[in-house]
Amino acid sequence: MNFSLTEDQLAIREMAREFAEKEVAVRAAAIDKESAFPQDLFDLMVRMGFTGLCVPEKYGGSGGNQLDKVIVVEEIAKKCAATAAVLSIHMLFAFLLLKFGSEEQKKKYLPEVTSGGCLAAFALTEPGAGSDAGSARTTAILDEASGEYVINGTKCFISGGGRAKYVALIALTQPEKGLKGFSCILVERGTPGFSVGKTEEKMGLHGSETVELIFENCRVPRENLLGEEGKGFKYAMIGLDAARIGIAAQALGIAEGALEEAVKYMHQRVQFGKPIAELQGLQWYIADMATKMEAAKWLTYYAAYLESAGLPHTKEAAMAKLNASENARFVTNLALQIHGGYGYMKDYPLERMYRDAKITEIYEGTSEIHKVVISRAVLG
């Protein structure tokens, strides 16, 4: 069993770390305060090849695997969780295209969303279908006469949906078949009948826009079907396994960043005549934070390894996401507590990290849903 990163992965980590420290860290507070999409940072990530990770070079990608993606998302999340979220969620579209798309679709779309700089999104959640994704009611009915799917319905909480050029939409093509009636349809921004509704005001991740998508008799050609009809729900679940590893990496990075801030502060802050790093009670906080963080790291890396190797990983992805997200909340809470009153102020990054950490327990499946996934896998 080898726990070492390859030379290429060490180089990727160093590149991502330098990018995060030099470019992302200085923008993080402003991104949060202004609720500003980090377009400049996204453009840099495109040029650095981060948006093309896990995609072969022949489709405009940078190559690599899921663990490479985890390493990059983790490093960026240490400084700005919103920027890391933008990257991680954007990459789900390419994952679905690469896994289920036709050769024509791969050649058409992948170069645009990898090296081409076009943002992409994934639309599953609806107002009445969150954790119960199978209750989605958006339809995409084929008009045989025109050879077009006619889409009607509303999606909500779609990350990046307002700026995405392309959306991978999960909709019912055969409503009477229930879960076997869902398909995945590719929809381009600007298509008549496709509009962006409400932009949500969120507790955290202010730089990652979350919007409502509205479809009113929106027509797309039959060739926009991804994979096979009736397989959309299966595709969505496979995509969520990969996405959950990405969220685990995001949560891991938030926790690592919070721990770094806590350690730095404890060496600087003097109380009772000595640095608070010498206070045993706070030392125990650090021990708990570091131990939980290390466990989350290796759960996340192991899930990424399994996905990269083409091995079953639904349970492991759920475990990684559940553990890393709960750990992120735990670590940011203690790091803020170590900072005392200063941690509650926006002058320090802990207040933002604390808010950003919470969503990792909710999106791409709540902690409760992940416990269901894990328990079913264990119980059989």
pLDDT in tens, 125-139: 999 888 888 899 999
Residue 3: per-residue pLDDT: 85
Q: How far is CA 244 from CA 105, 352, 354, 365, in A?
A: 25, 22, 20, 8
Does residue 43 form part of some domain? yes
Q: 50: domain CATH number?
A: 1.10.540.10
Domain end marker among 79, 95, 113: 113
Does residue 1 form part of some domain? no
In whole angstroms, what is the distance from residue 150 CA to residue 166 CA? 17
Q: How far is CA 309 from CA 70, 146, 312, 353, 378, in A?
A: 15, 42, 9, 32, 22
210: which residues sit within 8 A by CB, 6+ positions away?
157, 158, 159, 161, 199, 200, 202
In whole angstroms, what is the distance from residue 173 CA to residue 141 CA? 5
Q: Mean pLDDT across the stretch 111-116?
A: 96
Percent of the chain whose pLDDT exceeds 90: 97
Q: How far is CA 299 from CA 114, 319, 325, in A?
A: 27, 7, 12
Residues 176 and 190 placed together within one structural domain of the fold: yes
Q: Render pLDDT for 57-89 as a digit per residue (tens, 0 to 9).
A: 999 999 999 999 999 999 999 999 999 999 999
Residues 180 and 253 placed together within one structural domain of the fold: no
Residues 179 and 67 placed together within one structural domain of the fold: no
Does residue 51 form part of some domain? yes
Residues 253 and 218 placed together within one structural domain of the fold: no
Q: Render pLDDT for 245-303 as a digit per residue (tens, 0 to 9).
A: 999 999 999 999 999 999 999 999 999 999 999 999 999 999 999 999 999 999 999 99
Does 114 score more than 90 pLDDT?
yes
Q: Render pLDDT for 25-35 as a digit per residue (tens, 0 to 9).
A: 999 999 999 99
What's the structural domain count of the chain? 3
Q: 176: domain CATH number?
A: 2.40.110.10
Out of 103, 278, 364, 368, the active site residue is: 364
Residue 132: per-residue pLDDT: 87
Residue 129: per-residue pLDDT: 87
Please, what is the average pLDDT of the chain?
Answer: 96
Total number of residues shown for the chain: 380
Does 1 score more than 80 pLDDT?
no
Q: Mean pLDDT across the stretch 84-113?
A: 97
Does residue 210 form part of some domain? yes
In whole angstroms, what is the distance from residue 6 CA to residue 24 CA? 25
DSSP string, 9-60: HHHHHHHHHHHIIIIIHHHHHHHHHHT---HHHHHHHHHTTGGGBTB-GGGT
Does 170 score more than 90 pLDDT?
yes
Does residue 2 form part of some domain? no
In whole angstroms, what is the distance from residue 205 CA to residue 319 CA? 23
Residue identified by tokens 């509704």 is: 197
Phi, psi of 60 (to 5 degrees): 90, 5
107: which residues sit within 8 A by CB, 6+ positions away?
59
Residue identified by tokens 């055969």 is: 174
Residues 155 and 176 placed together within one structural domain of the fold: yes
Best CA proximity match to 304, nearest among 5, 22, 76, 52: 5
Residue 130: per-residue pLDDT: 83
Percent of the chain whose pLDDT exceeds 70: 100
Does 109 score more than 90 pLDDT?
yes
Print the domain residue range for 334: 233-379
* Residue 364 annotated to the active site: yes
Q: Render pLDDT for 13-49 as a digit per residue (tens, 0 to 9).
A: 999 999 999 999 999 999 999 999 999 999 999 999 9
